């Protein structure tokens, strides 16, 4: 009985360690289309996994995983974890819900059932700060700066929580921004859209402004947010001016340095006037960027009310979120 093509492919990859689709097509004398079909089937069967992006994608034998332990968790607790937990592994795999939580517990050498109850308790501690799906950041910013130029300040979630690290939004934000991965950015936007839409209606917002990026990237998160959200309103134009040396906010540890950085590098390049303006940023550490930008908008009388919104924010007072 002749050996199946799929079995030949598996043996070849096992012997070589890895292979590309073109390499397999040449070796076995079959069309690239036929190879793709075989590889897709092997991926579906979890016999292989792939690394890289076109045009360089490598296929490798998937290691055998130990049989998953039987976990007994209440349905409502599982639902809570499925909704809130996400982890990106060191290998770049996105794992959500109970699967991701079990993986995280295994890495930490923690019992899943007991830790799940502790996770629920921790989430309850933080959820008390959310009102209508928003966390009010005004208390924090008023106790950070002597002058506050924002009328309201919200964030959608904390960037991280004690013991369990980055929240689901925190994970998505970090890796969407750092990896410049449009698929992750779209997933992030899908999470944000209904909540931002609700906020726009709640406060009758008639214009939005996006805090411009400092670090040069091929795919800029805030530009992608603006494009994908496609909010039905005017956009106030903010510009990050070029300096001899670009100094990202996240590299500055002193509050006064962050204030100076924002004050010296962000320009409001617009003359249109609005009633209520939404000022959108990705992560709020100190709040210096939002507050200083609001100062400039007010000094030019471009909005009667300025509302700041960050995707994530820190829990404590002045805190540097250096990762994003």
Query: Which tens digit of pLDDT belongs to each residue from 109-136?
Result: 999 999 999 999 999 999 889 998 899 9
Same-domain pairing of 149 and 285: yes
**What is 270-317 written as a DSSP string?**
----EEEEEEEEEEESS-HHHHHHHHHHHHTT-EEEEEEEEEEE-SSS
Which of 53-57, 190-194, 318-322 bottoms out in mean pLDDT, i.e. has the lowest? 318-322
- Is the pLDDT reported for residue 5 higher than 70? yes
319 lies in some domain? no
Q: Is the pLDDT of residue 2 over 50?
A: yes
* pLDDT at site 1: 45
Give yes or no: residues 11 and 134 share one domain: no
Q: Domain check: are 171 and 300 in the same one? A: yes
pLDDT for res 286 = 87
pLDDT at 67: 53
Q: Do 135 and 283 share a domain, yes or no?
A: yes
Q: Which residues contact 17 (CB under 8 A, 6 or more apart)?
A: 60
User: What does the DSSP 8-state code read for residue 268?
Assistant: E
Indicate whether 137 belongs to any domain: yes
Do 82 and 98 contact (CB within 8 A), yes or no? yes
* Per-residue model confidence (pLDDT) at position 23: 92
* pLDDT for 223: 94
Pick from 127, 145, 162: which residue ends a domain? 127
pLDDT above 80: residue 182: yes
Query: Of 192, 147, 152, nearest to 168 (Cα)?
Result: 192
| 136 belongs to a structural domain | yes
Q: Do 212 and 276 share a domain, yes or no?
A: yes
Spell 74-103 as b/e; 16+ CB within 10 A means b. eeeeeebbeebbbbbeeeeebbbbbebbbb
Q: Using omega within 30 degrees of 0 as the cis cutoff, is the peptide bond preceding 48 cis? A: no
CATH number of domain containing 285: 3.40.50
CA 208 to chain centre: 20
Q: Residue 48 sits in a domain of what CATH number?
A: 1.10.10.10
Whether the Cβ atoms of residue 142 and residue 317 lie closer than 8 Å to each other: no
Greater model confidence, 286 or 148: 148
Tell me what the mean pLDDT of segment 1-26 comes to. 88
Contacts of 289 by beta carbon, 8 Å cutoff, 6+ apart: 211, 249, 258, 262, 266, 281
Q: Does residue 186 sit in the same domain as residue 118? A: no
121 and 246 inside one domain: no
Task: Answer yes or no: is 69 within a domain.
Answer: no
Q: Which of 31, 61, 91 is a domain's end point? A: 61
Residues 6+ apart with CB under 8 A from 268: 236, 237, 238, 239, 293, 296, 297, 300, 302
26 in a structural domain: yes
- What stretch of H or E contains 153? strand 152-158
Any domain includes 320: no
Structural domain contains residue 318: no
Looking at the fold, whether 145 and 229 belong to one and the same domain comes out as yes
Query: Does the residue 321 lie in any domain?
Result: no
In tens, the pLDDT along 233-277 reads: 999 999 998 887 887 777 788 889 888 888 888 999 999 999 999
Pair (174, 250) in one structural domain: yes
pLDDT over 70 (residue 321): no
Our count of domains for the chain comes to: 3
Domain match, 94 and 236 both = no
Q: Which helix (H) or strand (E) holds 234?
A: strand 234-235
Contact between residue 226 and residue 210 where contact means Cβ atoms under 8 Å apart: yes
pLDDT band at 317 (very low <50, low <70, confident <90, very high): low
180 and 212 together in one domain: yes
Tokens of 225: 């947010």
pLDDT at 175: 94
The tens digit of pLDDT for each residue in 33-79 reads 999 999 999 999 989 988 888 888 899 888 765 555 667 889 999 99
Domain boundary among 99, 127, 155: 127
80's tokens: 């809570």
C-alpha–C-alpha distance, residues 144 and 138, integer Å: 10
Q: Is 146 helix (H, G, I), strand (E, B) or coil?
A: coil
| pLDDT of 323 | 62
Report the mean per-residue pLDDT for the chain.
90
Domain that holds residue 304: 130-313
Min mean pLDDT across 91-105, 149-163, 294-308 is at: 91-105
Q: Return d(Cα 187, Cα 183) in angstroms, integer.
A: 6
CA–CA separation, 19 and 9 (whole Å):
9
Segment holding 57, helix H or strand E: strand 56-61
Whether 195 shows a pLDDT value over 80: the answer reads yes
Q: Are residues 120 and 12 in the same domain?
A: no
How much is the pLDDT for 273? 96
């Amino acid at each position: 009985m002749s050996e199946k093509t799929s079995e030949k492919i598996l043996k070849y990859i096992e012997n070589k360690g890895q292979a590309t689709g073109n390499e397999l097509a040449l070796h076995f004398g079959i069309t690239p289309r036929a190879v793709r079909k075989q590889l897709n089937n092997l991926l579906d069967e979890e016999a292989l996994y792939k690394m890289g992006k076109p045009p360089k994608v490598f296929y490798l034998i998937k290691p055998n995983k130990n049989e998953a332990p039987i976990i007994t968790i209440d349905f409502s607790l599982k639902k809570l974890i499925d909704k809130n937990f996400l982890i990106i592994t060191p290998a770049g795999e996105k794992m959500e819900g109970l699967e991701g939580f079990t993986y995280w517990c295994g890495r930490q050498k923690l019992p899943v059932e007991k830790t799940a109850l502790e996770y629920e308790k921790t989430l309850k501690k933080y959820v008390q700060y959310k009102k209508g799906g928003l966390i009010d950041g005004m208390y924090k910013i008023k106790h950070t700066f002597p002058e506050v130029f924002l009328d309201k300040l919200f964030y959608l979630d904390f960037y991280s929580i004690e013991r369990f690290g980055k929240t689901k939004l925190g994970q998505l934000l970090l890796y969407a921004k750092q990896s410049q991965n449009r698929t992750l950015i779209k997933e992030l936007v899908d999470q944000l859209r209904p909540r931002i839409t609700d906020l726009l209606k709640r406060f009758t917002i008639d214009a939005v402004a996006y805090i411009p990026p400092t670090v040069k990237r091929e795919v800029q998160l805030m530009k992608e947010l603006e494009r994908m959200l496609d909010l039905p309103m005017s956009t106030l134009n903010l510009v990050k001016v070029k300096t001899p040396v670009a100094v990202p906010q996240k590299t500055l540890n002193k509050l006064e340095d962050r204030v100076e950085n924002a004050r010296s590098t962000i320009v409001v390049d617009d003359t249109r006037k609005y009633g209520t303006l939404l000022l959108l940023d990705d992560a709020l550490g100190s709040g210096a960027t939002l507050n200083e930008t609001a100062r400039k908008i007010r000094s030019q009388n471009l909005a009667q009310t300025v509302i700041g919104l960050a995707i994530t924010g820190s829990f404590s007072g002045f805190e540097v979120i250096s990762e994003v």
